[in-house]
Amino acid sequence: MTDTMTRPAAPARSGLGTLAAPRGTATKVAANVVLLVIALCFVLPMAWVVVASFDAQATLSFGLPDAVTTANFAAIMTPELTWLPLWNAFVLSAGSGAITVVVAVLAAYPLSRYRMRFGKYFLYSVLFGTCLPITAIMVPVYALFVQLNLLDSLPGTIFFMAATSLPMAIWMTKNFMDSVPISLEEAAWTEGASAMQALRRVVLPLMRPGIAVVFIFVFVQAWGNFFVPFVLLLSPEKQPAAVSIFAFFGQYGSVAYGQLAAYSLLYAAPVLGLYVLVTRISGSAFALAGAVKG
Amino acid sequence: MAVSSRGVARVVPLAPAVVLLALFMLGPVIWSFYGSFTNTALTGPTALNPEWIGFDNYVALIGDPDFPKSLWLTVVFVFLSAVVGQNVMGIALAGLLRSAVKPVRSIASTVVVAAWVLPEIVAAFAAYAFFHSEGTLNTLLGGIGITGPDWLYSTPMLAVILANIWRGTAFSMMVYSAALAEVPPELTEAAQLDGANGLQRLAWVTLPVIRRSISTNLMLTTLQTLSVFTLIYVMTGGGPGTDSSTLPILAYQEAFKFAQVGYGTAIATVMIIVGGIFSVIYIRALRPEVD
């Protein structure tokens, strides 16, 4: 998953081996040891989630269970506790992902293909939108949703989440589209295709991996989002897993650590899977950060 | 600007994006400025028909001891966890990864990235359990004979700062890994031949070459950390008292716990202005890529 990240570094360093040999080896050993210590510190909090989920007597501290059990998973797998919230999370994430991708592709096409006088200003606003701290606007968004009568509405929440991920999605989609050569469309144009036909038949098929990356990016963000549905969705039967897991934590979390951990693991698994998928598609473990960088 | 029919056809695909952004991004920002001058409440008659009260919310904000405290906690949180913690840790990890053997490199980067990929609520639970008085950290300290404090109550800011470094370092590590890979090896080799040691090479060759990545990353991590809510809310709830209430927590509590939506909106407006200033600086730095 991560072997591609420092690929360019390897050949550059190899020529130095003889030059810095005696001190170099000591430095390298130290670097490896330090990295392993850091990795251990980073893995400990996460390891608790995994270990506790299989432990019938889980506590808040990391500790190997006396007996491995799947009872925690069995206990939480009920429709109202797990399946409905996971389904809601899927509807929210897939819905906002689909809307975002369609709207972002449409917007990116003129921005990528035409020199427009205001295109630059639009891109500046989009960039500004990527920076806006969303938690800062949640209180006014709540007030706005009260006025628009959209509170506790799944479609309203989906459109809001699509809008908040749109700036980043437009930015990423435009960058992917810029790398599709325009000469192919020009051929389509001379055969009488309209701009939208050229976009659908020529450009989109060529940037399928890019679109997949944008969709997964939005999906993962929406899946993991806690604050937005926490504020905008009030009835338990509409809330996604992130919110219901928090409610569970408030009600039973102080006793049933094992079940909380099992629920967390179940809920986190799709995101981890999708992340691995993105690294496969884009051929780089750091695709998401690279895209975020602009 | 003359608008031909072709010109109109060209901008039509932008319309859905403009509508969505205007309604759900620009709308709340304008609403925030407007709402901060009203006495909007969570329920009751002033929930739907708020009254204009001028600068009263801002006057109350300045008089409220919680607000300067929260502003200060936000500055401390952003400075220590993002500017210092994630950036220094990120660049150190990126550098170490380059001189590590492949299995160590894979393990370390996978683990660091995993903490970043996890959904925020799960990361928050994991951090809560780790720093809890009966959590993993104190068990480990107990193993070497130290009785650890109750981190979440006695040093809540330290706990959330460390948790946020743990959660967010991956982003800086990835940005700096990409940046370091683009530093021409001839430059560092030449410096090495001239007798520069590792630290000197870092300070005089590597850092100046990647300064653009550094400034970009500083801005992005600052903006991301400014809006951290879930991690702190789950770990400490902003407490004990208001000892770890950064601005997002304070705005949430004023609006929803104490039902003062107008007052919470005034805090939100302050955050939007602070975020806006950072964004403008960041965009100015990125300008060549747009033009």
pLDDT at A46: 92
* Closest B-chain CA to A241: B121
| Same structural domain, A95 and A179 | yes
pLDDT at B164: 96
Contacts B107 to A, Cβ<8 Å = 36, 39
pLDDT at B212: 81
C-alpha separations of A129 from A98, A104, A169, A203, B21 in Å: 19, 14, 11, 26, 9
Task: Verify whether the Cβ–Cβ distance B122 to A62 is below 8 Å.
Answer: no
How many Å apart are CA B238 and CA B261, to the nearest integer? 18
| Same structural domain, A99 and A207 | yes
CB B246 within 8 A of CB A106: no
Of the candidate ranges A258-267, B158-167, B181-190, the one whose mean pLDDT is the lowest: B181-190
Domain presence at residue B85 = yes
Domain presence at residue B246 = yes
| Same structural domain, A37 and A127 | no
In the structure encoding, which two tokens stand for residue A107, read together?
């917007």
Estimate the share of chain B in helix, then strand, then coil, as percent rounded to the nearest 5. Answer: 80, 0, 20
How many Å apart are CA B271 and CA A135, to the nearest integer? 9
Interface check for A26 against chain B (CB to CB < 8 A): the answer is: no
pLDDT at A13: 42
Least Cα distance to B108 among B90, B129, B125 occurs for: B90
The strand pairing partners of B52, in sequence order, are B38
Q: At B237, is the secondary structure helix, strand, or coil?
A: coil
pLDDT at B206: 86
How many Å apart are CA A279 and CA B123, to the nearest integer? 21
Instruction: Pick from B21, B101, B152 the residue to mutate for testing the A interface (most A CBs within 10 Å).
Output: B21
Domain presence at residue B69 = no
- Considering chain B, what is the average pLDDT of its residues? 86
Cα B171-B173-B178 angle, rounded to 5 deg: 100
| Same structural domain, A267 and A152 | yes
Of A137, A143, A271, Cβ closest to residue B40: A143
What is the tally of structural domains in chain A? 2
Domain presence at residue B4 = no
Task: Verify whether the Cβ–Cβ distance A124 to B290 is below 8 Å.
Answer: yes
Q: What is the mean pLDDT of each run of 10 residues along chain A (294 residues)?
A: 40 42 73 93 92 84 80 83 92 96 93 81 82 85 87 94 92 87 83 83 86 90 93 91 87 76 92 86 57 41
pLDDT at B85: 94
CB A112 within 8 A of CB A178: yes
Interface check for A269 against chain B (CB to CB < 8 A): the answer is: no
DSSP sequence for chain A: --TTTTTTHHHHHHTTTTTTHHHHHHHHHHHHHHHHHHHHHHHHHHHHHHHHHTBTT--SS----SSB--HHHHHH-SIIIIIHHHHHHHHHHHHHHHHHHHHHHHHHHHHHHS--TTHHHHHHHHHHHHHS-HHHHHHHHHHHHHHTT-TT-HHHHHHHHHHHHHHHHHHHHHHHHHTS-THHHHHHHHTT--HHHHIIIIIHHHTHHHHHHHHHHHHHHHHH--HHHHHH--SGGG--HHHHHHHHHHHHTTT-HHHHHHHHHHHHHHHHHHHHHHHHHHS-TTHHHHHHH-
* Closest A-chain CA to B276: A132
* Closest A-chain CA to B36: A140
Residues whose CB falls within 8 Å of the CB of residue B194, separated by 6 or more in sequence, listed in order: none
Interface check for A292 against chain B (CB to CB < 8 A): the answer is: yes
Domain presence at residue A219 = yes
Of B13, B135, B229, Cβ closest to residue A61: B135
Domain presence at residue A131 = yes
pLDDT at A1: 37
| Same structural domain, A173 and A31 | no
CB B121 within 8 A of CB A239: no
Q: At B38, is the secondary structure helix, strand, or coil?
A: strand
Contacts B13 to A, Cβ<8 Å = 106-107, 109-110, 196
Q: How confident is the model at residue B197 (pLDDT cuts 50, 70, 90)?
A: confident
Domain presence at residue B261 = no
Domain presence at residue A1 = no
How many Å apart are CA B239 and CA B73, to the nearest integer? 12
Domain presence at residue A57 = yes
- Region B85-93 average pLDDT: 93
pLDDT at A203: 87
How many Å apart are CA A287 and CA A278, to the nearest integer? 7
Domain presence at residue B213 = yes
Q: Give me the domain span that covers residue A284.
A: 76-293
How many Å apart are CA B231 and CA A18, to the nearest integer? 48
Domain presence at residue B219 = yes
Task: Verify whether the Cβ–Cβ distance A60 to B275 is below 8 Å.
Answer: no
Q: How confident is the model at residue B6 (pLDDT cuts 50, 70, 90)?
A: low
Task: Verify whether the Cβ–Cβ distance B100 to A124 is below 8 Å.
Answer: no
Interface check for A111 against chain B (CB to CB < 8 A): the answer is: yes
Domain presence at residue B266 = no
In this structure, how many other beta carbons lie within 10 angstroms of the beta carbon of residue A39? 18
Cα B10 to chain centroid, rounded: 37
| Same structural domain, A185 and A55 | no
| Same structural domain, A30 and A83 | no
What is the rounded radius of gyration, in angstroms, for the C-alpha atoms of chain A? 24
Least Cα distance to B108 among A117, A113, A5, A188 occurs for: A5
Least Cα distance to B98 among B108, B88, B87 occurs for: B108
Last residue within a domain, chosen from A69, A87, A116: A69
Interface check for A231 against chain B (CB to CB < 8 A): the answer is: yes
* Closest B-chain CA to A146: B48
What is the tally of structural domains in chain B? 1
- Region B210-221 average pLDDT: 85
pLDDT at A291: 46
Of A2, A59, A133, Cβ closest to residue B271: A133
| Same structural domain, A80 and A189 | yes
Q: Is it the case that residue B69 has pLDDT exceeding 60? A: yes
Of B20, B136, B229, Cβ closest to residue A227: B229
How many Å apart are CA A167 and CA A176, to the nearest integer? 14
Contacts B98 to A, Cβ<8 Å = 6, 9, 13
pLDDT at A254: 64
Domain presence at residue A277 = yes
Q: How confident is the model at residue B1 (pLDDT cuts 50, 70, 90)?
A: very low
| Same structural domain, A156 and A17 | no
Q: How confident is the model at residue B84 (pLDDT cuts 50, 70, 90)?
A: very high
| Same structural domain, A197 and A131 | yes
CB B90 within 8 A of CB A38: no
The CATH number covering residue B226 comes to: 1.10.3720.10
Cis peptide before A236 (omega within 30 of 0): no
Task: Verify whether the Cβ–Cβ distance A13 to B119 is below 8 Å.
Answer: no
Task: Verify whether the Cβ–Cβ distance B268 to A136 is below 8 Å.
Answer: yes
In the structure encoding, which two tokens stand for residue A110, read together?
């003129």
How many Å apart are CA B246 and CA B105, to the nearest integer? 35
| Same structural domain, A63 and A208 | no
How many Å apart are CA B165 and CA B162, to the nearest integer? 5
Q: How confident is the model at residue B156 (pLDDT cuts 50, 70, 90)?
A: very high
Last residue within a domain, chosen from A69, A87, A106: A69
Domain presence at residue A193 = yes
pLDDT at B232: 95
Q: Give me the domain span that covers residue B86.
A: 77-256
Last residue within a domain, chosen from A69, A91, A106: A69
| Same structural domain, A101 and A199 | yes
